[in-house]
Chain A
Amino acid sequence: MTHTNYRLVKTLLLLFLGIWLVFTLFPLYFMIVTSLKPVEEINRMIPTFWPQTMKVNNYAGIFADPGSLKSLVDSVIVSVTNTALSLFLGTLAGYALARWIRGVIGENLAFWILSNRMFPPVAVIIPMFFLFDSMPWGTDSYFSLIVLYLVFNLPLATWLMMVFFRDAPRELEEAAYLDGYTPFRAFFKVTLPLVFPGMISVAMLCWIFAWNEYLFANLLTGTTVKTFPVHIPTFTLGSQTLWNLVMAFSLVAMLPPVILFIILRRYMVRGLSLGVVKG
């Protein structure tokens, strides 16, 4: 490629990226702007792209409302517990599938586990409701959501952890056996640290799913337990929607995933297997 050609391609690429950035970031921008407007300004026919009157007290309103705060707490309880369970069970199951259950049985079992994620959730929504309704803890409880989200997160966690464990060299475990570690101790001393970055990624994926889930949460819970995606629609009143509060609350709910992702990013991309084999 000639020099001019290269510059042309680079310019076009930057142009494309610019357009793409505007396309993806504009909704976010508009959310932020809307969260700072008073309701009257939002309802104008010609929208304003910069608030004429800044109203920071939308945020104050969110934090003053006990319902909003409780929904965030509920979301934290459900998502964190579910993530912990998914990660714990998924890691053990993934290890078993990667190391001990081999051949045709292992392959089919692994595929079956993953296939649990393939059906559209709407297909089971009504059976799920009746199933949970017949349980002693009922539909409207932390437990029901935590267990229900396992249906979606556990296959994902199991499958991903299985892949990470398969990539972790078996020889390292064998070296640990020869050092005198029992399989149980070798797993914690050698194998688990190797897949640690993978566990962080899996935890993030599970947690974001549980944090954002709306469909089942809306169907099963809403009174005793109310996660934030279920709480957002309550800003819709009979006559109008309080978009400023919706946006302010959504932005608050977005913060934890964004912050966590920024903190954990470096684990999610790091491959610890570097330097295991001879160079």
Chain B
Amino acid sequence: MARLELDQVCKGFDRPILDRLSLTVEEGEFFVIVGPSGIGKTTLLRCIAGLEVLDAGRIIFGNKDVTRVPPYRRNAAMTFESYALYPHMTVFENIASPLRARKVDRATIEKSVMDVARLLRIEQLLDRRPHEVSGGQKQRTALGRTLVAKPDVFLLDEPISHLDAKIRHELRRQFHTLQELRRVATVYVTHDYAEALSLGDRIGVMGDGGLVQVGSARDVFERPSTVFVARHLGQPTINEIPCRLSNAGGQLTAQSAAGGFSFAVGGPQRALLENTQGDVLIGIRPQHLRVVNGSSTGQVAEALVEAFEALGATGVLIAETGGVALTVLTSPEDDFEPGQPVRLALDVDQFLYFDPAHGRNLQG
């Protein structure tokens, strides 16, 4: 049991992947790294596991510097995206593998494997080979192999991303309840923001070169540090509207670059942006726009329906106002025809303001 500390970790192949990345994952913490494909999430896990040699920086488990320790002496357990089960061994032998490597006696192996198999509900599959079990069962076998090892650090690489929705939810619930995972530092990598928000004690959003923002689910979702973070978390994706701020007679107004869409800046942002002039990038989450009938107290925008998708639990409306296409979250019972005029209530207090050049959140 230990905390995991990364200190100024650098790693690159033909281009830099991790650039001076520092991170501390406390003992018992479930840390989720989320980010788009190919950004280096797996590389980071492989560095922690010792499968990649760092270009610079240090990795510390507990108070032991393991930067130069080979993977087989690190006591980190990792599940691979491809599961990496040994095809010539049974499920039992696969799970028992870390114990056999440590030359644990037979009776203990038997007992530990049975315990883990029971926990993951695969005890009836122990005699089968990996190609004879389903994807979800393979995933559980791979997870079993890491649990049985009692490692210092758990590394989980997209463990449930490739499974059916139903099994994914079941396993997600299991991750919440597995006490074994709660005793050590866990780093969990995924590209699915919902998985990240659901599981993570803290979430790290990974962009080019390293972690763009680290924080709780609420932090990263409600106060994204950059437009990249905002764009990556949330479904449907956040609306991004390049606007110009102008201060006319004490009234701070944002107007879209094309000119057709404008609103008065309000709420807590107002004071902050009072002295900002010029271009900003405005981020509006689809749930902060509402379709209203008749009059509304707040600010409204007149728009025309472009498309509507009823998605079971929610409805997604695409409406166009003044040359700007806005995605709006509605209820699935709604029914809109293309071309139909709608009034959108703007939840101005919730809007996000970004620096158009660097994508930095102007409020944070």
Which of A181, A272, A275, A277 interacts with B101 by CB under 8 Å? A181
Query: Given the complex of chains A and B, what is the CA–CA distance between A275 and B80 in angstroms?
Result: 14
Interface mask (A104-120 → B, CB under 8 Å = 1, otherwise 0) = 00000000000000000
Pair B88/A194 contact, Cβ less than 8 Å: yes
Is B121 on the interface with A (CB-CB < 8 A)? no
Which of B73, B75, B88, B149 interacts with A272 by CB under 8 Å? B88
Smallest CB–CB gap between A192 and chain B, Å?
10
Is A18 on the interface with B (CB-CB < 8 A)? no
Smallest CB–CB gap between B75 and chain A, Å?
8
Contacts of A274 in B (CB 8 A): 87, 131
Query: Given the complex of chains A and B, what is the CA–CA distance between A174 and B81 in angstroms?
Result: 13
Contacts of B83 in A (CB 8 A): 277-278
Query: Given the complex of chains A and B, what is the CA–CA distance between A181 and B75 in angstroms?
Result: 11
Query: Given the complex of chains A and B, what is the CA–CA distance between A180 and B145 in angstroms?
Result: 12
Smallest CB–CB gap between A173 and chain B, Å?
9
Query: Given the complex of chains A and B, what is the CA–CA distance between A275 and B141 in angstroms?
Result: 13
Pair A277/B82 contact, Cβ less than 8 Å: yes
Contact A278-B162, Cβ < 8 Å, known A177-B71, A272-B87: yes
Which of A179, A193, A278 interacts with B82 by CB under 8 Å? A278
Which of A175, A180, A182, A279 interacts with B80 by CB under 8 Å? A175
Pair A174/B71 contact, Cβ less than 8 Å: yes
Pair B84/A171 contact, Cβ less than 8 Å: yes
Pair A273/B80 contact, Cβ less than 8 Å: no
Query: Given the complex of chains A and B, what is the CA–CA distance between A117 and B295 in angstroms?
Result: 88
Pair A179/B97 contact, Cβ less than 8 Å: yes
Which of A172, A174, A176, A180 interacts with B102 by CB under 8 Å? A180
Nearest opposing residue in chain A for B103, CB measure:
A180
Query: Given the complex of chains A and B, what is the CA–CA distance between A171 and B83 in angstroms?
Result: 9
Smallest CB–CB gap between A191 and chain B, Å?
10
Query: Given the complex of chains A and B, what is the CA–CA distance between A277 and B74 in angstroms?
Result: 25
Is B217 on the interface with A (CB-CB < 8 A)? no
Is B78 on the interface with A (CB-CB < 8 A)? yes
Identify which of B80, B84, B129, B145 gathers the most chain A CB atoms within 10 Å of its CB: B84
- Interface set, chain B 37-89, CB cutoff 8 A to A: 49-51, 70-78, 80, 82-88
Pair A172/B51 contact, Cβ less than 8 Å: no
Pair B138/A278 contact, Cβ less than 8 Å: yes
Smallest CB–CB gap between B148 and chain A, Å?
10
Is A45 on the interface with B (CB-CB < 8 A)? no
Nearest opposing residue in chain A for B134, CB measure:
A279
Smallest CB–CB gap between B167 and chain A, Å?
12
Pair B51/A177 contact, Cβ less than 8 Å: yes
Which of B75, B82, B134, B145 interacts with A171 by CB under 8 Å? B82
Contacts of A175 in B (CB 8 A): 78, 80, 84-86, 145
Contacts of A182 in B (CB 8 A): 72
Smallest CB–CB gap between A183 and chain B, Å?
8
Smallest CB–CB gap between A2 and chain B, Å?
40
Nearest opposing residue in chain B for A193, CB measure:
B88
- Interface set, chain B 99-139, CB cutoff 8 A to A: 101-102, 129-132, 134-135, 138
Contact A180-B135, Cβ < 8 Å, known A169-B82, A276-B84: no
Contact A180-B86, Cβ < 8 Å, known A175-B80, A276-B130: no
Contacts of A178 in B (CB 8 A): 49, 51, 71-72, 74, 76-78, 98
Contacts of B130 in A (CB 8 A): 275-276
Is A10 on the interface with B (CB-CB < 8 A)? no
Pair B84/A194 contact, Cβ less than 8 Å: no
Query: Given the complex of chains A and B, what is the CA–CA distance between A272 and B89 in angstroms?
Result: 11
Is A185 on the interface with B (CB-CB < 8 A)? yes
Contacts of A96 in B (CB 8 A): none
Query: Given the complex of chains A and B, what is the CA–CA distance between A189 and B132 in angstroms?
Result: 21
Smallest CB–CB gap between B98 and chain A, Å?
4
Smallest CB–CB gap between B188 and chain A, Å?
16
Contacts of B80 in A (CB 8 A): 171, 174-175
Contacts of A186 in B (CB 8 A): 72
Contacts of B77 in A (CB 8 A): 178
Is A85 on the interface with B (CB-CB < 8 A)? no
Is A62 on the interface with B (CB-CB < 8 A)? no
Contact A169-B101, Cβ < 8 Å, known A178-B49, A278-B162: no
Query: Given the complex of chains A and B, what is the CA–CA distance between A190 and B130 in angstroms?
Result: 14
Smallest CB–CB gap between B48 and chain A, Å?
11
Contacts of B145 in A (CB 8 A): 175, 179
Contact A185-B84, Cβ < 8 Å, known A177-B72, A178-B76, A278-B138: no
Nearest opposing residue in chain B for A168, CB measure:
B87
Contacts of B162 in A (CB 8 A): 278
Interface mask (A258-279 → B, CB under 8 Å = 1, otherwise 0) = 0000000000000011111111
Query: Given the complex of chains A and B, what is the CA–CA distance between A64 and B188 in angstroms?
Result: 74
Interface mask (A234-274 → B, CB under 8 Å = 1, otherwise 0) = 00000000000000000000000000000000000000111
Query: Given the complex of chains A and B, what is the CA–CA distance between A250 and B31 in angstroms?
Result: 71
Smallest CB–CB gap between A174 and chain B, Å?
5
Nearest opposing residue in chain B for A275, CB measure:
B131
Pair B85/A276 contact, Cβ less than 8 Å: yes
For the complex of A and B, the 9 pairs showing the least CB-CB separation, nearest first, are A275-B131, A180-B101, A175-B84, A179-B98, A177-B71, A171-B84, A193-B88, A179-B97, A275-B130
Give 24 pairs: A residue, B residue, CB < 8 Å, sorted on A. Answer: A174-B71, A175-B80, A176-B101, A177-B51, A177-B72, A178-B49, A178-B72, A179-B97, A179-B98, A179-B149, A180-B149, A181-B72, A189-B97, A190-B86, A272-B87, A272-B88, A274-B87, A275-B85, A276-B82, A278-B135, A278-B162, A279-B131, A279-B134, A279-B135
